[in-house]
Amino acid sequence: MGSIWEYANPVKFSQTVSRFLLPVAILAAIATIVGLIWGFFFTPDDYRQGATVKIIYLHVPSALMAINIWFMMLVTSLIWLVRRHHVSALAAKAAAPVGVVMTLIALWTGAVWGQPMWGTWWAWDPRLTSFLILFLFYLGYIALWEAIDNPDTAADLTAVLCIVGSVFAMLSRYAVNFWNQGLHQGASIMRAGAVTGADTEEKVSNVFFYPLMMCIVGFVLFFVALVLLRTRTEIHKRRTRALLARERLA
Amino acid sequence: MKALLFRDLKLAFRAGGGFGLGIAFFLIVVILVPFSVGPESGLLTKIAPGVLWLGALLACLLSLDRILALDWEDGTLDLVATSPLPLEGVVSVKALAHWITTGVPLVVAAPVFGVLLNLPPQGFVWLVASLALGTPALSVIGTFGAALTVGIKRGGLLLSLLILPLYVPTLIFGAELARRGAVGQEVTTPLLMLAGITFGVIALLPFASALVLRMNLR
C-alpha cells in the first residue's frame, strides 16, 4: 500500500471505488436500518418528551453530517488548490448536494421536533439560524459550479469560495450567537460530565446513545458511499466529454 | 493606482455611470417600508435602524456587478492585469471606488431617511457611525463576489446568492450597533466587532479577490 496520493489517479480511484462501493453501501444500509429500528422500537420513551424524542435518530446524524460535509469539502478544496488533483475537486463537487440534503433533513426534522416541544416550527435561534445560513452557503457553492463552463476554472473558483465561505460561516456562527439567545439545547451527547458522571441527568442515557451511534455510523458510511459513487460518475462524465471532443476533432 | 481610482470615479460620476442609482434605490426601500408595515410611529422607530441597514445593504448589492463587469467586457481588465500594478492593489482600488460612489452617499443620506422612519434623536450619530464603519466591508466583500462571478454572463442573481450569506456578520453587528445606539444602550461590543470585521476584510479579502480574478483571467 503506497501513499494516499496514488488514489488521486482517476483510474486507480475508479478501480478502488468499484471494489469498495458495494461493501460500504451494504454496511451503511445495515447500520442505518438497525440503528433506526433499534431506536424507534426498542428504546423507552423519554419521561418528558414522550415518543417525540425518537426523531433524534434522524436529527442528530443529519446535523452532524451537514457540518462535517462542508468541512470535508474545505479539505478537498485545499488539496485541489495545492496539489491540483482533479479527483479531489470532483469529490468536493460530489459532496455538496449530499450536504444540502443533510442540512434540509436536519432543519426539517428539527421543525417537526420543535413543534410539539417548543410549540413552534421555527424560531430564530442561533443554531437554527446558523443552519439556514449554512444551507445558503451550500446553494451558492452548487450554483457557482453550475454556472461556469470551464471545469478547471469552476473547480478553482468554487474552492476559493469554499475557503472564504468557511471563514464567513464561522463568523456568522458567532455573530448569530451574539445576536440572539436560543431555545436549542447545547450538545449533550458527548458532554464532558458524562464521562466523570458529574452531571448524569444532563447526558444522553446509554439506552439512547448506542442506537444513536449506530445511526451516526450509518449516515457516515452512507455519505462515503454516495460520495464515492458520485465522484466516480463525475470522472466518467468528464471522460465521456473528452472522448466526444476527440471524436469531433477526428 | 491613483489614476485607476480617478478613472473609476470619473466613469461613475459621468452620465450613464449609475452614480446615484444606489441612493435612489435606498430611498425607495425606505419609502416602501411604511406602506408594507403601516405608518405607526412607534413601530417605525423600533425597526428604523434595521430597515436603514437592510436598505443600505441592498443598495450596495445592486451596484456590485458594475465594479468589474464593464472593465471585463471591454478588455480593460486584461490590460490592467498585465500592467505592473499588483492585482491585489487593483481590486482594493476598485472596492474603494465602489465605496466612494455607493457607500459614502448612503452614509450621508441615511440621517435624512432616518427622519422619514422616525428614528429617535440619539440614534442618528450611531446610525451614521455604523454605516460609515460597515459599508467599506460591504464594498470589499462585494468586490470579492464580483471577481468571482465576472466571467459569468448574467451573473447578477448568482452574485446576490453568493454575497448575501457573506454579508450576514456585517449586517448583524452593524444593525445591532445602530439599534443599541437608537435605544441608548451600551455600544462597545458591536462597535468593536464591526470594526474588526471591516478591517479584517480590508486586510485579507483583496488577496482572495485578486486570486479569483487571476483564475478568471487565465
**Cα angle value B143/B144/B147 (rounded, 5°):** 85
What is the C-alpha to C-alpha distance for residues A176 and B170, in angstroms, rounded to an integer?
A: 11
B149 contacts in A (CB within 8 Å)? Answer: 144, 147
B172/A144 touch (CB, cutoff 8 Å), yes or no: no
Give the range among A45-54, A87-96, A236-245, B17-26 with minimum mean pLDDT: A45-54
What is the C-alpha to C-alpha distance for residues A105 and B114, in angstroms, rounded to an integer?
A: 41
DSSP H helices, B15-68, are: 21-37, 41-62
Write phi, then psi, for B106 (nearest 5 degrees): -65, -45
Give the range among A71-85, A122-136, B92-106, B125-139 with minimum mean pLDDT: A122-136
Q: How many CB atoms lie within 10 A of CB A71?
A: 11
CA-based nearest residue to B148, from B172, B168, B136, B165: B165
What are A15-71's pLDDT values in tens digits?
888 888 999 999 999 999 999 998 888 877 766 677 777 888 899 899 999 999 999
Q: What is the pLDDT of residue A192?
A: 41
CB B43 within 8 A of CB B153: no
What are A55-114's pLDDT values in tens digits?
888 998 999 999 999 999 999 999 999 988 889 999 999 999 999 999 999 999 988 888
Instruction: Provide the CA B37 distance to its chain's centre, in angstroms.
Output: 25
B162/A179 touch (CB, cutoff 8 Å), yes or no: no
Mutating which of B144, B152, B162, B218 best tests the A interface, going by the most A Cβ atoms within 10 A?
B162
What is the C-alpha to C-alpha distance for residues A56 and A216, in angstroms, rounded to an integer?
A: 11
Q: What is the pLDDT of residue A142?
A: 94
Question: Which residue do the cell numbers 465561505 mark?
Answer: A165
Task: Tell me the shortest Cα–Cα distance from B169 to chain A, in angstroms.
Answer: 5
Mean residue pLDDT across chain B: 88
| Percent of chain A that is helix, strand, coil (3-state, to 5) | 80, 0, 20
Mutating which of B157, B160, B166 best tests the A interface, going by the most A Cβ atoms within 10 A?
B166
CB A66 within 8 A of CB A134: yes
The residue type found at B151 is G
What is the C-alpha to C-alpha distance for residues A123 and A110, in angstroms, rounded to an integer?
A: 11
Task: Tell me the shortest Cα–Cα distance from A157 to chain B, in angstroms.
Answer: 6
Q: What is the CA radius of gyration of chain B?
A: 18
Kindly list the distances between the CA atom of residue A76 and the CA atoms of A138, A152, B188, in Å, as whole numbers in the listed order: 15, 15, 39
What are B165-182's pLDDT values in tens digits?
999 999 999 999 999 988
Does A168 lie at the interface with B, CB-CB under 8 angstroms? yes
What are A176-195's pLDDT values in tens digits?
877 776 567 666 655 443 43
Q: How many CB atoms lie within 10 A of CB B131?
A: 25
CA-based nearest residue to A66, from A158, A164, A163, A169: A169
CA-based nearest residue to B142, from B102, B105, B173: B102
Question: Which residue do the cell numbers 425597526 mark?
Answer: B47
**Cα angle value B128/B132/B133 (rounded, 5°):** 120
Q: What is the pLDDT of residue B192?
A: 93
Task: Tell me the shortest Cα–Cα distance from B10 to chain A, in angstroms.
Answer: 31
Q: What is the pTM of this model?
A: 0.87
Q: What is the pLDDT of residue B186?
A: 85
Mutating which of A171, A174, A180 best tests the B interface, going by the most B Cβ atoms within 10 A?
A171
pLDDT at B57 over 90: yes
pLDDT at A199 over 70: no
**Cα angle value B67/B200/A92 (rounded, 5°):** 75
Chain A residue with Cα closest to B196? A171
Does B215 lie at the interface with A, CB-CB under 8 angstroms? yes
B165/A160 touch (CB, cutoff 8 Å), yes or no: no
Higher pLDDT, A33 or B2: A33
pLDDT at A134 over 50: yes
What is the C-alpha to C-alpha distance for residues B201 and B144, in angstroms, rounded to an integer?
A: 10
The DSSP string of A47-97 is TTTBGGGGGHHHHHHHHHHHHHHHHHHHHHHHHHHHH--HHHHHHHHHHHH
pLDDT at A160 over 90: yes
**Confidence band, pLDDT 50/70/90 cuts, at residue B209:** very high
Smallest Cβ distance to B162: which of A140, A153, A178?
Answer: A140
Q: What is the pLDDT of residue B128?
A: 93
- In this structure, chain B runs to a length of 218
**Cα angle value A169/A171/A177 (rounded, 5°):** 105
Task: Tell me the shortest Cα–Cα distance from A24 to chain B, in angstroms.
Answer: 35
A157/B166 touch (CB, cutoff 8 Å), yes or no: no
As given in the structure block, the three cell numbers for residue A241 are 466529454
Helix H or strand E encompassing A107: helix A86-118
Beta bridge partners of A46: A50
As given in the structure block, the three cell numbers for residue A13 are 480511484
What is the C-alpha to C-alpha distance for residues A99 and A227, in angstroms, rounded to an integer?
A: 10
Q: What is the pLDDT of residue A10?
A: 85
Average pLDDT over residues A129-142: 92
Name, in order, each residue with C-beta under 8 angstroms of A80's C-beta and a sequence gap of 6 or more: A86, A88, A89, A92, A155, A156, A159
